[in-house]
Amino acid sequence: MKKDKPKRARAVSKPARPKTRAAALDSSQRSASTRASQKPAGRKRRKPDSSVPQNDLERHAVPAEHAVAQEDAGPSSESPVSLRLEDDETLVEEAPELGLGSRMVPPHIGWSDPLESMPPAARPRGDVAEQIRALEARLDGLIRTGALPKPADAPDGPPASEALRLVPPERELPTAPADDLAASPYFVKRWGRQGLRSRSEEVDDFGLDPVYESRFRPIAEFLYRHYFRIKTQGISQIPATGRCIIVANHSGTLPLDGLMLRTALRLEHPASRELRWLAEDFLFYLPFAGVFMNRVGAVRACQENAERLLGKDGLLAAFPEGVQGIRKLFSERYQLQRFGRGGYIRLALRMQAPIVPCAIIGAEETNPLLYRLESVASLVGLPYIPVTPTFPLLGPLGLVPAPSRWTIRFGEPVSLDGYGPQAAEDHVLVGRLSERVRGAIQAMLDNGVRDRKSVWFG
């Protein structure tokens, strides 16, 4: 024991894990060799038998020594346990390795990010672990061959009992049990990053709160199924995977069409696709409404947001009419307003996403707008204050939408495959394509309104 002092002293400066492992190897190797040296002395009778394990031990003592040496050399270049800021490469690369012992890391946050954690860190220690495993296997074999004859030679009490006593610690020492647990998928699921994430209230990058939304879901489904009794046609036009832009007419004073479109895609589409819709700026000036719409899936309409969502191969709904659509008077119902500056076409060209035209029929009757109070509205920060047959008359209750029957029709996708991303700069082309999409939606609207027998029963 005393002999090893210098090695121990050198190990002090090293991080904890390699040290203990080296010490463990040391002790296991040492105890094994003492046992080996004791055994021949105890039983001369079975000399040929016991010489085999002895040789074996001597043979594998070399890799063990080798492993220790490697561990000695290793940590100077990479220290898996301590958080060292001075080398940024290590900081980043070793992040998943920081584990439970690190001071900087709250212990309940496992650092193992399952997606990108192990490969860089595991490699340097892989051979050592392998060696340890090989060593264990050989020790096991050794113990079995060494322990089986034991009952036969009962007189050799001390070595046999010693061997039996030594078995468990030898098997436990080389790897710390907590490390094994921390690396297991169960740990990651329950206590690691993923576990904490799934248990907590957390929003996605654009503010959608899955927990909040799931609480709201029954209401949305009630509106969808029983209140507006929505019928969808041609939902298979929307691809099951990949980016896509749905372009629809906008209507209904209180814009519920985005939310209903999202519900339709979730309930009716075979792939149950998740839709995010682009909402007008004014929504985000408003208290409560802005936060609410954001948490259930609305995103502010701008090119940056749309690009990011489509970049993740998402499904996006745009209402190019914008505020002009929801401020339509009842007399102008189902007449598409101007389609902005064709931003959605430029977006589709740049991101190479197909456009699916969509007509929402029935939503224009939910809150028939008779008049817009605009001068007062600017004081409140709204684009206008609606006057409907019920609204200022019945107070807030008057804003409850009328239970008209909706039909959502999806048309043939407008493919923009023929044009490259640079076509987005061609204003004439963008205008022409925008007009084509607008024409397609207007035709679907006209057909839908003509086919409809009743506003209330479809």
**What does the binding site for other proteins look like in residue numbers (CB under 8 A)?**
83-88, 91-92, 95, 104-106, 109, 193, 197, 200-203, 205-207, 209, 281, 284-288, 290-291, 299-300, 302-305, 308
Contact indicator for 352, 422 with CB cutoff of 8 Å: no
CB of 422 to other proteins, least distance (A): 19
Residue 277's nearest CA partner among 217, 362, 197, 358 is 358
- List beta partners, residue 373: 385
Sequence-ordered list of residues with C-beta below 8 angstroms from that of 72, at least 6 positions apart, any chain: 10, 11, 14, 22
CB of 2 to other proteins, least distance (A): 34
* Residue 3 DSSP label: G
Residue 203's nearest CA partner among 212, 194, 195 is 212
| Nearest CB to other proteins, comparing residues 216 and 330 | 216
Contact indicator for 54, 40 with CB cutoff of 8 Å: yes
Q: Phi/psi at 231 (nearest 5 deg)?
A: -110, 135
| Nearest CB to other proteins, comparing residues 299 and 358 | 299
CB of 408 to other proteins, least distance (A): 27
Contact indicator for 164, 151 with CB cutoff of 8 Å: no
| Nearest CB to other proteins, comparing residues 130 and 274 | 274
CB of 105 to other proteins, least distance (A): 8
| Nearest CB to other proteins, comparing residues 137 and 302 | 302
CB of 206 to other proteins, least distance (A): 5
| Nearest CB to other proteins, comparing residues 58 and 87 | 87
Residue 136's nearest CA partner among 100, 84, 189, 175 is 175
CB of 418 to other proteins, least distance (A): 29
The DSSP secondary structure of 77-98, one letter per residue, reads: T--SSS--SS-HHHHHHTGGG-
| Nearest CB to other proteins, comparing residues 202 and 451 | 202
Q: Which tokens hold the place of 98?
A: 């920081």
Q: Phi/psi at 371 (nearest 5 deg)?
A: -155, 150
Q: How far is CA 83 from the centre of its chain?
A: 26
CB of 201 to other proteins, least distance (A): 6
Sequence-ordered list of residues with C-beta below 8 angstroms from that of 142, at least 6 positions apart, any chain: 53, 56, 57
298-300 sheet: strands from edge to edge: 231-233, 407-410, 355-361, 244-248, 315-318, 275-279, 298-300
CB of 14 to other proteins, least distance (A): 16
